[in-house]
Chain A
């Protein structure tokens, strides 16, 4: 249990694009930090007690980038920590920010996550992630050429395809259902200022017209590779009440490391037979809801941001984190429950499907969820949001983060 009740008072973004060649990595991060501090009211950079940052390890070919950008993150002469956990880096950085305040060690903490994917080679980055798993194959006498040939089906889209197939079989979702998720995300992204793929007029047919990359996922369904950064400012309940109009209290955080995905015999994604089961997401959601005192997430959560680079994952996650009953998400999406003006809006920022600066993506989920509670989101939903969820996913399908937040502090008796 937290010693101190942490609260989010401000979230900042920089503009995301496929190539932000006008800025270097440090300047990119600085844009998000400035945006965050600008919206933080009376908090100045000198009031920040600790800075936590993170991105994917060496995707840009720059190890220890925090050394380079200390000045740009207002971190000079302050404690600076780096956290990196693959795709959930952003979520982990956010949780580390929470921990720093909750422990009572620091009053005001800045959490920064970023990625400048145009600098590097994401596939090479990913293969270094997968290397630990792949390296066992030569040891088993597996022919290297065959391994290389099959690698294409083992990258992110590979894992997602098996997940999508699995999900479609379970829930009877069609390709049209997947396309519907994409359309919702891209149209939402068009209304949010910092997103990458803005497509205000996209239709389901447009998505279904694009070629397959790996069945059942088409080119139009896949997330882009973006450059971008996100920053969040955490502080104590007492300070937040003085500074922010609507402080967002973080009431439950959980991260869960699932069974590692031992790449199957043909790099087939996962040693888990069912990549759609996601026990880790179910368990960590339970833990986070438990901390926040939420018994019926489908009724008590007003808004959710889930980490879904691929549309099938959005349908899967909303079920696994308890927002919809199992296999019922496609129907709910058909009925517009998850839409911008629906009962339970999901990913109104445009989601990872529209903007994916990998290291930042999992932080942009809780950040956007917090902004919806504050009423300051780029694409603010019409309904009043009291309680929201930010979810992150990463690693080779095995890391999960959850952040549950509300406009009310955690009730002590719980």
Chain B
């Protein structure tokens, strides 16, 4: 154990690490679609399962899933949570407005996406309610293009 009056030798250094990720041709198509305000998924050639975000392989059938399908902007909120803390900030963690995050299954897709829920308050949220996408003001062809999903109608 360290004694209280013991001196500690501290050294600081910086290591710069740049990382790139190749998204692959299938996800590339998905991001291109976002820029045109479109959801593009892929369909398994055997079981017909539709993946959004797309992947080029169905895990259940282990066959190609490279048929692209256009999907609507609406979906169903399958599950959600509400948090009052920011995990990205180290110092100021408490947020002024609660953050709502949910799993949204876009109509016609068999998988769900983890997205922010916006333009509503936590009391209105319930599982199975209808939601619709809110696009970012500036579309850049990256995940930030989906600003979030908001409830439509009475939910």
Contact status A148-B13, CB under 8 Å: yes
Query: In the assembled complex, how far is the CB of residue A214 from the closest CB belonging to chain B, in whole angstroms?
Result: 21
Most central of A24, A45, A148 by chain B CB within 10 Å: A24
**Is B37 at the interface (CB under 8 A from chain A)?**
no
- Which of B53-61, B123-131, B134-142 touches A? B53-61
**Is B5 at the interface (CB under 8 A from chain A)?**
no
Residues 29-45 of chain A: 1 if any B CB is under 8 Å from the residue's CB, otherwise 0?
01000000000000001
Looking across the interface, which residue of chain B has its beta carbon closest to that of A144? B11
Contact status B24-A76, CB under 8 Å: no
Contact status A71-B58, CB under 8 Å: yes
From residue 91 to 149 of chain A, which have CB atoms closer than 8 A to chain B? Answer: 116, 118-121, 124, 127, 138-139, 141, 144, 148
Query: In the assembled complex, how far is the CB of residue B29 from the closest CB belonging to chain A, in whole angstroms?
Result: 12
Q: A61-B17, A148-B13 are in contact. Are A22 and B57 (CB under 8 A)?
A: no
Taking a contact as CB atoms closer than 8 A, the residue among B16, B19, B25, B26 that contacts A60 in the complex is B19
Q: A24-B22, A118-B22 are in contact. Are A45 and B27 (CB under 8 A)?
A: no
Residues 213-252 of chain A: 1 if any B CB is under 8 Å from the residue's CB, otherwise 0?
0000000000000000000000000000000000000000
**Is A328 at the interface (CB under 8 A from chain B)?**
no
Residues of A within 8 A of B2 (CB): none
**Is A386 at the interface (CB under 8 A from chain B)?**
no
Q: A71-B59, A76-B60 are in contact. Are A124 and B13 (CB under 8 A)?
A: no
Residues of A within 8 A of B27 (CB): 24
Q: A24-B27, A124-B17, A141-B9 are in contact. Are A76 and B22 (CB under 8 A)?
A: no
Looking across the interface, which residue of chain B has its beta carbon closest to that of A139? B9
Contact status A30-B57, CB under 8 Å: yes
Residues 326-353 of chain A: 1 if any B CB is under 8 Å from the residue's CB, otherwise 0?
0000000000000000000000000000
Most central of B9, B12, B56, B62 by chain A CB within 10 Å: B62
**Is A176 at the interface (CB under 8 A from chain B)?**
no
Taking a contact as CB atoms closer than 8 A, the residue among B9, B18, B22, B55 that contacts A22 in the complex is B22
**Is A21 at the interface (CB under 8 A from chain B)?**
yes
Taking a contact as CB atoms closer than 8 A, the residue among A20, A72, A148 that contacts B22 in the complex is A20
The total of chain A residues at the interface (CB under 8 A) is 31
Contact status B15-A124, CB under 8 Å: yes
Contact status B9-A138, CB under 8 Å: yes
Most central of A116, A121, A127 by chain B CB within 10 Å: A121
Looking across the interface, which residue of chain A has its beta carbon closest to that of B26? A27
**Is B20 at the interface (CB under 8 A from chain A)?**
yes
**Is A192 at the interface (CB under 8 A from chain B)?**
no
**Is A357 at the interface (CB under 8 A from chain B)?**
no
Residues of A within 8 A of B55 (CB): 26, 71
Residues 5-23 of chain A: 1 if any B CB is under 8 Å from the residue's CB, otherwise 0?
0000000000000001111
Residues of A within 8 A of B57 (CB): 26-27, 30, 71-72
Q: How far is A162 from B11 in the complex, measured between Cα atoms in Å?
A: 29
Residues of A within 8 A of B9 (CB): 138-139, 141
**Is A254 at the interface (CB under 8 A from chain B)?**
no
Residues of B within 8 A of A22 (CB): 22, 24-25
Contact status A116-B17, CB under 8 Å: no
Contact status A119-B24, CB under 8 Å: no
Looking across the interface, which residue of chain B has its beta carbon closest to that of A143? B11
Residues of B within 8 A of A74 (CB): 62
Looking across the interface, which residue of chain B has its beta carbon closest to that of A75? B59
Residues of B within 8 A of A120 (CB): 17, 19-20
Contact status A21-B62, CB under 8 Å: no
Q: Which 10 A-B pairs have the closest CB atoms?
A: A71-B59, A61-B19, A24-B24, A76-B59, A124-B17, A45-B62, A138-B11, A21-B22, A27-B24, A144-B11
Question: Which positions in A face B, CB cutoff 8 Å?
Answer: 20-27, 30, 45-46, 60-62, 70-72, 74, 76, 116, 118-121, 124, 127, 138-139, 141, 144, 148
Q: List 7 A-B contacts (CB under 8 A).
A: A45-B62, A61-B17, A62-B21, A70-B59, A74-B62, A121-B19, A144-B11
